[in-house]
Amino acid sequence: MPRDIDPRLLRAFAAVAEELHFTRAAARLYVAQQALSRDIRRLERGLGTELFVRTTRSVELTAAGKRLLPYARRVLEAHDDLIAACSEAEADRPLLVDIGERVSTGNLVLEEARRIAPAAGPEFYACYHSGLIGAAADLLAGRLDVSFGRIAGLDPAVRARLDHLPVRFEPMAVVLPAAHRLAALPEVPLGALAGESVYAAAGNDATAEWTDLAERLFAGRGIAVAPPLPPIQGREEFIRVMGKLGRPVLATSQFIDMPGAVLRPLTDPVPLSPVSMVWRRGGRHPGLDLLRAAAERLAARRAWLVRPSGSWLPDVDEAAMSR
């Protein structure tokens, strides 16, 4: 029995034990499946026992594996606490907050956190990612502290490594060219978009959670998601490309101004875009506490988590937001 065991091997073991699936465990740890299998074999050789029964269809813990799992979890928890204790200097650095756009729910939360922060409190730096899926890798790698978006759109293996706080059910809207047949309406019934091709960021992997929400909303209503485009970088380029294409754009009530276009709320039903504050599980920083407090204050003050009558939300999002 070895006196020293690499925590990485125990982390690999715990991931496979909890997922009972090597591919999902590898995705959760952001490693190649072959590397994960090598780590498990190395741990088994070091312990002198098999930890899993593997077949082509299933993975199960052996009796030795079941005995090891609670101890492995305790060691990993202590290891995480050790890292946190040695990283107290992290509290002095700015909290990196992805708000997506200055016109966003995330930015409203950030502004509230800055307002309530004490004079000698933590600093916040705003970042401008496009999409929660795109930001998730940076959250897990420690290059970003907080982002905002649709948590149900993330892969379950990624979600398992993140924490989130439901912040808002944001009403969805549509951006229409000023000359569009529906532009004169004060609000647009969803059924009126039947036959339209609506831009919803198809083709941009970083915002795939938004495209998925659009596909769920349009299904069975005769509305098409516009064909994929290469990812569009920056507000000015987005406005230029959308203006040139002249097609409707799926948006939310918090959206950028687009010259030559109008923003109209969607109704019948009122579709909702769920927004959560998202951070790396186990993350510690005084700015994180302030940001959570700001989100909870705004959500309560503005009734952001109260669903309007006749609203629409996918079941998967309802489950994720009811945590």
The tens digit of pLDDT for each residue in 98-157 reads: 998 888 999 999 999 999 998 888 899 999 887 899 899 899 888 899 999 999 999 988
- The label of the residue with tokens 């599980």 reads 281
The tens digit of pLDDT for each residue in 24-35 reads: 888 888 778 888
Nearest by Cα to 43 from 78, 82, 10: 10
Nearest by Cα to 21 from 69, 51, 58: 58
> What pLDDT score was predicted for residue 283?
82
The tens digit of pLDDT for each residue in 297-306 reads: 999 999 999 9
The DSSP line for 85-135 is HTTGGGGGSPEEEE-SSSSSHHHHHHHHHHHHS-TTS--EEEE--S-HHHH
309: three-class secondary structure by DSSP: coil
247 in Cβ contact with 260 (< 8 Å): no
d(CA 160, CA 280): 10
Query: Mean pLDDT in runs of 10 for the chain (323 residues)?
Result: 80 94 86 88 93 91 95 88 61 87 92 91 88 90 93 91 94 92 96 95 89 96 91 78 85 86 94 96 87 94 93 94 79
Nearest by Cα to 103 from 235, 288, 296, 270: 235
pTM: 0.72
304: three-class secondary structure by DSSP: coil
Helix (H) or strand (E) holding 174: strand 162-177
DSSP letter assigned to residue 199: B
> What pLDDT score was predicted for residue 90?
59
> What pLDDT score was predicted for residue 39?
92
> What pLDDT score was predicted for residue 319?
92
Vertex 51: Cα angle to 48 and 56 (nearest 5): 125
